[in-house]
Amino acid sequence: MSSLKIIEVNVVSTGKAIVHCSFCNGGGGVPTNYARESQKPCPVCGGQGKALVEFEEETFIECAYCRGGGGVPTNYARESQKPCPTCFGLGIKPIAGNWQIIK
């Protein structure tokens, strides 16, 4: 069994943090290997490349379900992946407690 990686996030205030979007790998569009102009905004972060999340427990870990990639199934090409239902596509999540993307 592999241990989950602890991920540093940019905590902006109590219970809020800005996290890198793994679904688009911070680029804002999917798939990331397409020209920027032909991409649609990332459905996870709305094209921002990062997202503001609200959380209860501070420690963030790599999402085991998508293995940090943000998309499932992980062995599919980027363009046929869906955002991970466990981490909403961000690739990381708080170790415990409720949380959500707020923008």
Options 7, 17, 19, 42; binder of Zn ion; rule CB under 5 A: 42
**Is residue 34 at the binding interface for Zn ion, with CB under 5 A as the rule?**
no
Rg (CA), the chain: 13
Omega within 30 of 0 (cis) for the link into 31: yes
**Is residue 44 at the binding interface for Zn ion, with CB under 5 A as the rule?**
yes
Smallest gap from Cβ 91 to Zn ion, in A, equals 6
Q: Give the integer Cα–Cα distance in Å for 59 and 26.
A: 21
In this complex, which beta carbon is closest to Zn ion, that of residue 4 or of residue 14?
4
Which among 103, 92, 99 has a CA at the least distance from the CA of 15? Answer: 99
User: What are the residues binding Zn ion (CB under 5 A)?
Assistant: 21, 23-24, 42, 44-45, 63, 65-66, 84, 86-87
